Every structure is written in structure tokens, then in C-alpha cells.
Chain A
Amino acid sequence: MQQEALVKEGMRGKTAAQFKQGSPFSQLWETNREVFQRDKLALFGLIIFAFFALVAILAPQIAPNDPFTPLKNADGDWISNTLPYWLAEPGEDEAEGFTNTFVLGTTNIGRDIFSQLIYGARSALLVGFSAAIAVAIIGTVVGLLAGFYGGWVDVVLMRAADVAFGIPFIPFIIVISAFFDPSIWNVVLAMSVLLWRDSSRVIRSQVLVIKEQAFVSAAKVSGASGLRIIFLHIAPSILPLSFLYGTLAIGWAILTEASVSFLGFSDPETISWGFMLQDAFNSLALSRRAFYWIVPPGICIMLTVMAGFFIGRGYEEVLFPRLRRT
């Protein structure tokens, strides 16, 4: 019956172009969609990223003030240490010669905290995503090469990973930041130099598993070259793992950048949430109980990092279904 229907549809006459070529990567999209469809938290994470990405892109439009320029009152003096308008005593601002419209108040040198928070999203996402991309790429390439070629390639690359595991993470980044230009890119670079270690190991072991699968041997028997096997047969299967480690690296990178900024080794020309906290700490916001200054950057860091975790967990559940809750 089925057969007859097919013939009626004229399937017999179909040309090659009408069949799915089935790009090895076409299912990746499916996997990604599955992650976010299956896991509400992962979707929530994605929404958080989208939100901060939007904030970062539109920062100049959203931020009421320049994050660096101290705000000045009518006399030209800086409006420093102002409480958020919703906490401040009404009328105080007029007496001081300005109108308090500051959502989160101002710093000790009159910078708008809310605007800093918005611009902070830029460096957070920049650091997070560039580190994630670097980690995913390095980890994937290293894992693929080590796993596929084995032998000396494997030994060398995995010993390199061991070395990366032996290097203390935060101290390394501190030393790099202190020795070279204090730049957000140096922090990203330093993190990328180390963070691939986890992903490469996991990807390598996954490659070892896939490599042993019959379809890879089949490709070999058919005469496929090493590169063809790596990119066509193995890579598509381990890319979700790369995504997983990439998303986890987002959190790591943001946290690390914050820590390094906090210790004072970051680029002073770039506003980041870690920098804001450092500024607050060094400007004695704690003793002023300036929670409006201390709490928001921390929450923002936490949210972005958690978004990464959520998405990572989503991937984990799809990749390692054993952990799935039933």
C-alpha cells in the first residue's frame, strides 16, 4: 500500500537533488533546539544571555550617562556618593544643585553606577564569549587531534593538558595581567591558554569512543582520508560537547575576569562588573553600606554565569541522558 502511494507521488522520478544531502552538521541545529525545548532552565539561560547581549549592544542608548565621566552639579562640582533616587531624601538633590535621577546612585567620584552596570555587560559578554569560543575551538581541535591520531600527537597534547592542569589558574592570570598590558584581551588570552584543558580531555575521550565505532572504520575502509573522517564523521558528534564546554567557559571567564579585576589587575579603561566591585571595595563602599553599589554588579555576574550553567546543564542532559530526571 505504502509502495503504491509512493509510486503515485512520483517518487520514482525524483532526482538526486530532491533528497536530503544530510549535511553532517544539519543535526546540530536539531540538538541545539532539543536542548532549549527540553530544558526550561536552559531556555531561561538563553534569555538571560539575550537580555544582556541586548543591553550590551544598546548600552549607549540605554545608559543615561557616560560610565566614566563624573557627573557635575550646577556649580561644576562632582555629584559624588549620591544615593539612588529611590533611597535619597527628597529635596536633598535640589539643595546640592542637581536632580537625582540615578537609578543606582553615583560613585565616590560622581560616576553613574547604573550606566556603569550597563556598560559592564559589554566586557562581561565580550570576555565570556571570546573565552568560550577560544576554549571551544582549542579544546575541540586538541581533543580531535589527540584522540584521532593518538600516539605521539596524543602524548604531547595530553601532557600539555597536564601542564595546563598544573598551572594555578588565577595566579597565572594575575601574573600575565601584571606583566603585560593590563587589557581585557590579555585576561581572555591567559584564560584561553589554560581553560581548554577540561574540554580537550573530555572531547578526546569522546573521540576515542567514536573513533572505535564501526561507521568510522567503514569510512576508512571506503578510503576516506583522515581529515575527511575527522571533520565529516567525528567532529559533528563532538560539537555539542564543545558547546557544553563553551557555555561553561562563559561562566568561568566572567568570574575570573571579575576576580582579576577585583585584585586590581584589569584594564582600567574598560568598565566591567569586576572593576566596579573593585572600585566599590577600594572606595570603601562597604563601610558606607552602599549596597546599591556593591550588590548589583554581583547579581549581574551571578546571573550571566548561571545562564551559562543552565545552558550547560541543558546540553549535559541531552548529551548524557543518564542524568536525566525521569
Chain B
Amino acid sequence: MTQYSSLLALIPLLPLFSALILLFSNLPKLGVSILAVGSVAGVAFISLFLNFIFWQQSDFILTASLGTWINIAQLKISFGLYLDPLSLVMITIVSGVGALIHLYSIGFMYQENDFKRYFTYLNLFVSAMLFLVLADNLLLLYLGWEGVGLCSYLLIGFWYQDRNNNLAANKAFLMTRIGDTAMAIGLFLLFTQLGTLDIQEIQIKAHSVWSLNNDNNTMASICCLLLLGGAVGKSAQLPLQNWLPDAMAGPTPVSALIHAATMVTAGIYLIARNSQLFQLAPDVLYLVALIGTFTLLLGASAAMVQTDLKRILAYSTISQLGYMFLALGVGAGASAVFHLMTHAFFKALLFLSAGALIYSLHHEHNIFKMGGLLKKLPVVAMSFAIGCAALASLPFTSGFVSKELILAQVVASGHTGLWWAAVLGAFITAFYSARLFFVVFLGQTQLSPNAMPTKSMSLALVILGVLSLFGGIQPEGLKALMPQLNTEGLSTLQHWLPIILPFIAISFAWWLFKTKRFGKPIVSSFLQAIHQLLKSGWAFDHIYQTIFVFPLNTLCQLNKDDLIDSFYRLIERTSCTLHRTFSQFQNGQLRSYNASLIIFCILAFAWFISGELIL
């Protein structure tokens, strides 16, 4: 086992060094591509190799250390890496999907002047993400966590000359930062309560300190809530979800890698990683499930009415992440991670195909300006179709396997209400996937593509397409590591409804499409209001703007000149006024000096006289 430790250490370091070399070197574009893609591909091969080695073993643990970080009194934190089935799945996804997207990016970004900067950020991102998933303590995980946030910020604002991109980047960073801060407080709490930040130790100590039946597990709940705060921010769940649609301002491969396949799943990973801790707080777990359910409905409903290609996909990502949260909440961590994996495949595929479309169509994002592209861009259309099918969880796709598993687990956990909501969500998902595909690829041709996807792009699309179709194999190691519910005893309805429903949704969408009801202006004002509400993602932006941003902004603007300083300025002004008043007396006029002397005499005598009179 130990012989693989150095291999493990290499995993996050390889892209990191590649990023550093890119940062300081002056390579031509070809060199940049080779280095950037090579490093991530190397990591992908290493993780595949590790997969191969550990496939049969269900409870292996591989550790490596890159040295100590902080060591003060009780606080001992090292750069320790920890590989178990869960993190193995994650690194495989990250590096595999990452490598494909790197490959794809070569073609997509080749015209860009800042080619090198792009790949530097991308490599840095992969490295940070790998640190996140491999960290053996929460602080290192936090490092990776913030690192991916930073790279996401940089990549969203990659085209920095456009203010909107920067605003979207700022929004993404700040909203996730809110969650991150909650998580940081969670870290402090965990450390003060348990005296350690090592993830495995936390799981063990938590069980000894807060047992489930004990009364004092409110502390555990608070810890979990705070960690959940971080997860919610990163994974774009309910209160903090509205940064993700805006984050689509970045280059499309970035959306694919960061905002669909990997970074946003960090929240899922965090909860899955600490699943034993979360088991101590059933209330919080239920909250996780609730958040997941509401988010999946919200995301799906908002996706129905969007017109921007990438926004549809962004909302669908929010919705799919909701499914994962739901799975985590009902205690089916393994299925959540499984869905995470399949989602990574098909969502990356969808985004990359969308990227290819946008690339071919002059950066056109509006789906209603596309149409009839099936024949023009066959590869893209095929891969898009596969992606949509997986998203809609049609049978024989990877999405089908994982989503059915989640739904079955929800039933098994006994939360029937949540199950119905999830099924409704699945219906909507299928509906908007179908709408998306029909509108873009069928019907009238409106824009003809002016550029064909390059070979590297097509290659990535094909590989991801295959994975989306056949990637529905649940990793064995997960089942042992994570809780899995017994799914026997489903009723017929519960078994068949989720399978049939997507077809109904697709037929409905087809009927609407054929009768040309998509994209028509809506007449009824009530419906229009709802349409607007959905389109703005349930108006969360507006609410936050009114409740938080505006008051804070106003408050700060009011105090722009520093209220406290004005106190000192008041002192200054008072002494100035006094100075001016007194210097009035010193006017250089002999007669007024005389007069003041006389006045003083008069007053002094008056004082004397009054004293005499009183006596």
C-alpha cells in the first residue's frame, strides 16, 4: 500500500506545478496545451490506475503527507492526503472530466489571446479541487474549498473587460463566501468541542462525545448546520443558489468543469465525507433533504422558462444538486455520490455540447434563435441528445440508474412527501430537457453554423457521450463506506411511475413544440407574472438586493466620511472657531485694546462694589 503514497501525493501536486510553470514561463500555445492537458491527464491516469488497483477492495485507506502546516499546542494540522473509496471516486471524476474538458478547451479557447492564463487558472482549479477531496483534515479541505472558489471567480470573470462578467464573478465569490464563513465557524466550533480538525478523528470523537440519544447533541446539530452552510453555498442550494446561473458568464468549458461537474459538488462531498457526524444530527439531515427538495423544484421550474441555453443548464444543475442533497438527507450517501458521478458525466457533456453550439453559432445563447441544427451539427446533436436523455433519466442511460436509485432510497427512507416532490421534479426535468432539445435541434433553421467544432472538442464530446450512456456503474467501494438503504418492497407505482413519467413529459413537450407554443409571448398577465417569477429564479436576486445589499450599501454610503472622524473634526472645528473668536480680539487696534482694559477695570470694580454691598 505504502508504495502508492508517493503516487497519491503526486495527484494534487501535478496540476499545481503545471499551473506554476505556466504562470512563470512564456510557452507557445502548443506547449501550454501539452503541459496543461498532460498534467491533468496524468492525474486522470493515476486515478484510473488506483481505481484499477483498489477495485476489489472495499475498505482501503491510503494516506500521504506533504509536511506539517500548523502545530500549536493542540492544533496539529498537516498537509495530509487521505484516499478512501469516496475520495477515489471524486478524484476520478475530477481528473477524468477535468482532463476531457482541458482537451476540449484547447479547441474552444484557441483563438483567445489569454490562452495561457486560462489554462493556468484551470490547472490551479483542478489542483485545488484535488486538495479538497483528498484532504485528511478540515482546514486543508477549507484551503481547497476556497481555492476552487477563487479559481471559479477568476474563470467566471475570465473575459474581464465586460463588467457583467466581473459582477457575476463577484456575486459568485461573495455568495459562496457567506457559506464558507459559516463553514469556518463550524470549524472553530468543531475544534473547540472536539480538539481536532482531522476528518476521521472528528467522526470517531463526535460519536463518543455526542451520542445520538444524549441530550447535548444540539452542539452536533449546530456543527452540522454550520458545515451545511458551507455546502449550501458551494453547491448552490436554496438560500444561496442564485449565483450559479450568473456564473455562466465564464467560458463554457469552465461552466462545464466548475459549475456543473466538479466544484458545485464539493458541498455534496463535504456532507458525504462527514456523514457519520451528520448522522448525529437527524434534524439537520432532514433539513438537508428539505433543502434538496425545494431546490430541485425551484431549479427545475426555473429551467422550464429560461431562454438562454446556458442558464437552462445552470438551473438544471441546481436542480440535480438538489437531488443529491435529497439523497444525502434521507441517508443515502452512496446514491448521492453515484448521482454526482453520473451527473458529472452528462452535465459536462451537455455543457460541452452547448459550448460547441455556441462556438459554432457566433456566441449565440438564445435557444429561440437556434433551431434545426440536427443535420448541420450531427456530433453535437448526438451528444446533446444523449445528455438530455440522461438528464431526463430515460432508461438505459447513466442518469436513469442513479436517479432511480435516489428515488427508491427516498421511498425506503419513508419520506413519501419528499418522494412525490422528487418525482414531480423528475417530470419537470424531462419536460425542460425535451423542450431544450426540440427547440434547438428541430424545426426551422434560423442560424447556420459558421465554424465546426474542432477535433479535440469532438473527441471530448464522444468520450463523455459514451460515459453518459454507460457510466451508470456504481463504484463498489462506496457501498461499503456509505449508508445504503434497503430498497426492497417498493410498490408497483413507486417502481414504475418514475420510469414512465419522463416519457409523458417528453410527449407533452413534443405536443407543445409541434403546436409551436414554445417561445410564444404569453397573453395572460397572471401567467406572465409567473413566467417572470420563474425566469428570474423565483426573484431571489431581487429579494437579496432589497434585504441585504441595498441596506448595507446605503449604510456604508451614509457613513462614507466616517462618523467617528467627524467627532474629531468637531473638536478641530470647535477649536478653530474658538481661535477665530479670540483672534477677533487681537485686531491690532490700539483703541480696542484700551477699551478691553477699561472694560476689565469696570468689571473688576463692579465685582468689588458688589462684594462691598453684600458685606
Physical interaction between A and B? no
